[in-house]
Amino acid sequence: ALTGTFTSPAAEAAAKPTPSTAAGSIPKFAVAMPVPEVLRPVRRSWNTDYYRMTMRTVSTEIVPGHQTEVLTYDGSFPGPTIMAESGRRVVVEQTNALDTPVSVHLHGASVPTSSDGYPMNVIEPGGTRTYTYPNVQPNANLWMHDHAHMEEAEHVYRGMSSMVVLSDAAERKLGLPSGEYDVPLVIRDVDLDDNAGIVFTMDDSVNRTTILVNGKPWPYFTVEARKYRFRVLNSTNLRWLAPFLADASSYTMVGSDGGLLEAPYSTPAVVLSPGERADIVIDFSTYAPGTSVVLQNLAGTGDPAEIMRFDVVAAKTEDHSRVPAALRTLPALPTPTVQRSVVLTMDEDGRPNPMGYINGKTFDMNRIDTTVRFGDTEVWTVSNGNVTTPHNFHMHLVQYRVLERNGKPVDPSEAGLKDVVALLPGEEVKIQMTFDSYRGLYLYHCHLMDHSAMGMMAQMEIV
Ligand code: C2O
Ligand code: CU
């Protein structure tokens, strides 16, 4: 069900290869893919899990035999996973041991504005701030990442990224693969210099050609011949991904940004723009032990072909996991009372310092772009007004439904709860959401992080 001509910023990379040095020498499928560590709470009360994290610079081995300096949540690249539970609060005390101000955003979560990681609510170097996440929403695939004013793109690119898996009892009853068979795949690209140092150049969609999964380049992952659930996160700043098994077998998508879909969806590839998540189940029992299968990008994306490789071994025990035909019921869509339109554009005339715009304006922290009445249900028509530059659209605070894309019903992969929606040049989507959780100031922006850092961001106040 992949329709339309698919282009991505990386299509240019194929046309104009500037082989990045250290990257050119990295062998594929030579390092094992690590699974990010699950962070342990420092304390648990009857309704709250308390965590402590220190943001710090560490050296890590990305290119075999080289050390790369990265910015981290709590010393790992990507950061540790937080396992959260609907109805239980998570409180994280964050200490900034970096030499740059940071702001921690929990992407996809509905949280009070004081804990939302507003760009100006920074933690100065040496400072500490406590964030409270009420987790009053159902299961979801959340993402902790930096949001410091105009610095978010570089900070996230250098490593400030951690997965937060929010689960609930209804989800657990389904019997999907769990425990060691439920694995995050944090996929990103990077440009590395001769010494394996991370090179950040704003809006560089061409040279970020090394693919990392859970922080390692083109890794392999040993899997048993059984079902696995993978929480796939496109944590790139600019690149589209379309994970596809090289033998063209289908996998089963069970969830997206805001948690489970209503029904599983069997597909050979899910297209993910930056910030989007796909929760997928791959059944490796169809492969003989000893077989390897490469996860690559769907041909035609223009992206570097390979992502990682799965090496199948015999199953240790019987696989009792299942993918039921019904996963959840999404709340009925209330009748909207407000319609708005949002147009995303970026300077495309080749001027030296291009800016990003929402409805013709670049981000201004002193301007409230949209005032929303608490409790209202709104429909926003969001379009990409550019002719060559892809964008996408993220809102803080809410999970929305995508009602239509270019006037047509959406693909099943976009039919669940979403907080990022892709917009290729000229595309238009209609999204619907209800503002009934918190009041205050929240952002909406393009999630091609270099674009938001260039001003393609605006704010709404819920009153
Ligand atoms: Cu994932 Cu405002 O961001
Ligand atoms: Cu954009």
Concatenating the DSSP letter of every residue in 338-361 gives EEEEEEEEE--S--SS--EEETTB
Burial class (CB in 10 A: 0-12, 13-18, 19+), 179: exposed
Q: Cβ(392)–Cβ(447) under 8 Å? A: yes
Q: How far apart are the first and last CA of the chain?
A: 40
The predicted pLDDT at position 401 comes to 98
**Could you give the C-alpha distances from 312 to 224, 250, 283, 287, in angstroms and in order?**
6, 17, 11, 7
The closest residue, in CA terms, to atom 3 on ligand 1 is 107
The predicted pLDDT at position 21 comes to 53
φ/ψ (deg, to 5) at 412: -55, -25
DSSP state letter for 123: B
Locate the ligand 1 atom nearest the alpha carbon of residue 145 and give its number: 1
Long-range CB contacts (< 8 A, 24+ apart) of 58-65? 60/215, 62/190, 62/192, 62/196, 62/210, 62/212, 62/215, 62/216, 62/217, 63/22, 63/23, 63/25, 63/26, 63/192, 63/196, 63/217, 64/26, 64/27, 64/30, 64/31
Domains of the chain, start order: 11-16+174-313 (2.60.40.420), 338-462 (2.60.40.420)
Question: 46: CA distance to ligand 1 center in Å?
Answer: 30
**Which residue in this structure is represented by tokens 């890590």?**
60
The predicted pLDDT at position 35 comes to 98
Q: Which ligand is nearest to the CA of 448?
A: 2
Find out whether the peptide bond into 78 is cis, omega within 30 degrees of 0.
yes
Q: Cβ(216)–Cβ(236) under 8 Å? A: no
In sequence order, what are the beta bridge partners of 162?
144
Ligand 1 pocket residue status of 396, Cβ below 6 Å:
yes
> How far apart (Å, rounded) are the C-alpha atoms in residues 251 and 233?
16
Please, what's the b/e burial string for 149-177 (b: 16 or more CB within 10 A of its CB; e: otherwise)? bebbbbbbbbbbbbbbbbbbeebeebebb
Specify the pairing of strand 161-167 against strand 82-85. parallel
Per-residue tokens: 329: 């019921």
Ligand 1 pocket residue status of 445, Cβ below 6 Å:
yes
> How far apart (Å, rounded) are the C-alpha atoms in residues 174 and 177?
9
Question: 392: CA distance to ligand 2 center in Å?
Answer: 6
Q: Which ligand is nearest to the CA of 455?
A: 2
Q: Which ligand is nearest to the CA of 397?
A: 1
- What was the ipTM of the complex prediction? 0.97
Locate the ligand 1 atom nearest the alpha carbon of residue 419 and give its number: 1
Q: Cβ(422)–Cβ(390) under 8 Å? A: yes
Ligand 1 pocket residue status of 394, Cβ below 6 Å:
yes
Specify the pairing of strand 68-73 against strand 420-423. unpaired
> How far apart (Å, rounded) are the C-alpha atoms in residues 107 and 111?
10
Question: 376: CA distance to ligand 2 center in Å?
Answer: 27
List per-residue pLDDT tens for the chain, 463 residues long: 333 333 444 444 444 444 455 666 799 999 999 999 999 999 999 999 999 999 999 999 999 999 999 999 999 999 999 999 999 999 999 999 999 999 999 999 999 999 999 998 999 999 999 999 999 999 999 999 999 999 999 999 999 999 999 999 999 999 999 999 999 999 999 999 999 999 999 999 889 999 999 999 999 999 999 999 999 999 999 999 999 999 999 999 999 999 999 999 999 999 999 999 999 999 999 999 999 999 999 876 656 689 999 999 999 999 999 999 999 999 999 999 999 999 999 999 888 889 999 999 999 999 999 999 999 999 999 999 999 999 999 999 999 999 999 999 999 999 999 999 999 999 999 999 999 999 999 999 999 999 999 999 999 999 9
> How far apart (Å, rounded) are the C-alpha atoms in residues 392 and 408?
18
Per-residue tokens: 163: 């997965």
The predicted pLDDT at position 16 comes to 41
The predicted pLDDT at position 2 comes to 35
The predicted pLDDT at position 261 comes to 98
**385 closest CA partner among 447, 443, 416, 428:** 428
Q: Cβ(234)–Cβ(242) under 8 Å? A: no
Question: 356: CA distance to ligand 2 center in Å?
Answer: 7
> How far apart (Å, rounded) are the C-alpha atoms in residues 245 and 251?
8
Question: 180: CA distance to ligand 2 center in Å?
Answer: 36
